[in-house]
Amino acid sequence: MKKITYYPGCTLHSTAYEYGDSTEAVLKYLGIEWQEIPDWNCCGAASAKSLNHKLSILLPARNIKNASTLNNDIYVPCAGCYNNMMKAKRALENAEERQNIEKSLGKFESIPEVYPLMRLFTDKAILEKLSQSKLKTDVKVASYYGCAFVRPEEVLQNENPEIPQSIDNILNAVGLETVEWPLKSFCCGGDLSLADSSVVSVLVEKIINYAKEAGANAIVTACPLCQANLEMRQKEPFPIFYFTEILGIAMGIDNEKWWKKHLVDPRDLVSKIKGGK
């Protein structure tokens, strides 16, 4: 059985409850065992790096240190958390910076690998397992990655920031068609959502219009900040899903609780994805 270390971050138990719950349901279904990082803290999100560099490294570094006791790779569902944790990991890979971090946090025994949650599902064996649950629907969706899963490329070395594919591959495996469109990694302005919503509304409108024009009936994302922002700042109701919710539908383990948490009710489309008319 595969075992992973899991860093839910602040949102998966609160504003992105449906992402957290659907992730856990899907992991259970696939027989993947997960353990949360012991006594984890907030990674500092956009705020620590905005005001103080050292703080922005030490906060996620403490999580890496606590995770290292579990001896498994860390998987991170939130793009912002993943990005911050990778920056701390790169700092730890530099001898001089590591010394400074250890001055504050004590010695690190080992440094685990850090991956975005999607990476778990693009593993060949798991993709094969996923493809045993096939949706039969003509609903099409636009996969949306946002910025922090893919950039800066030299730090993350994750996937091509211009044409990321992981979410597409996962959704296609369960039989959901994804459209080709150019704004997969265009910024939604999530970090500015509360500070200046006028800027953010323009970005969100652009993203949703492009997705619609490309023929999508919904957007599917992996980032709780993007998801909340795309739901909060849109004009006409356009459903925004987490990819784990789609996997849940395909596996037949989706939960009414998830749909009730959405600010934009996706239930009409959920029944279409299930094959209803």
Partner 1 sequence: MKISEINKHTGQDILLCYQCQKCTATCPVSNFMDIKPDVVVRMSINGKLDNLMRSRTIWVCTGCETCGSRCPNLISVGKINEFMRQLAYENKISPAVKPALDIHLAFLNSIKRFGIVHEASMLAEFKLRTKDFLSDLKLGLKMFLKGKIPIKPHTIKGINEIKRIFEEK
Name the site residues for partner 1 (rule: CB under 8 A): 10, 13-15, 17, 39-42, 44-55, 58-59, 62, 104-105, 147, 151-153, 161-162, 185-187, 189-192, 194-197, 199, 202-203, 232, 260-261, 263
Peptide linkage before 237 cis (omega within 30 of 0): no
Q: In terms of DSSP bridges, do strands 177-178 and 218-221 run parallel, antiparallel, or are they unpaired? A: unpaired
Residue 147 or 208 with smaller CB distance to partner 1? 147
Please report how close the Cβ of residue 217 comes to partner 1 at its closest, in angstroms: 23
CB neighbour class for 186 (10 Å; exposed up to 12, middle 13-18, buried from 19): middle
Residue 97 or 177 with smaller CB distance to partner 1? 97
Please report how close the Cβ of residue 189 comes to partner 1 at its closest, in angstroms: 6
Residue 62 or 119 with smaller CB distance to partner 1? 62
How many residues does this entry show for the chain?
A: 277
Residue 164 or 248 with smaller CB distance to partner 1? 164
| DSSP bridge pairs for 143 | 220
CB neighbour class for 17 (10 Å; exposed up to 12, middle 13-18, buried from 19): middle
Residue 28 or 54 with smaller CB distance to partner 1? 54
- The sign of the CA dihedral 53, 192, 229, 180 is negative
CB neighbour class for 140 (10 Å; exposed up to 12, middle 13-18, buried from 19): middle
Please report how close the Cβ of residue 7 comes to partner 1 at its closest, in angstroms: 12
Contact of 116 with 82, CB cutoff 8 Å: yes
Please report how close the Cβ of residue 109 comes to partner 1 at its closest, in angstroms: 17
Please report how close the Cβ of residue 223 comes to partner 1 at its closest, in angstroms: 12
Residue 71 or 160 with smaller CB distance to partner 1? 160
Using the structure block, give the residue that is written with the tokens 């944790």.
85
Please report how close the Cβ of residue 14 comes to partner 1 at its closest, in angstroms: 5
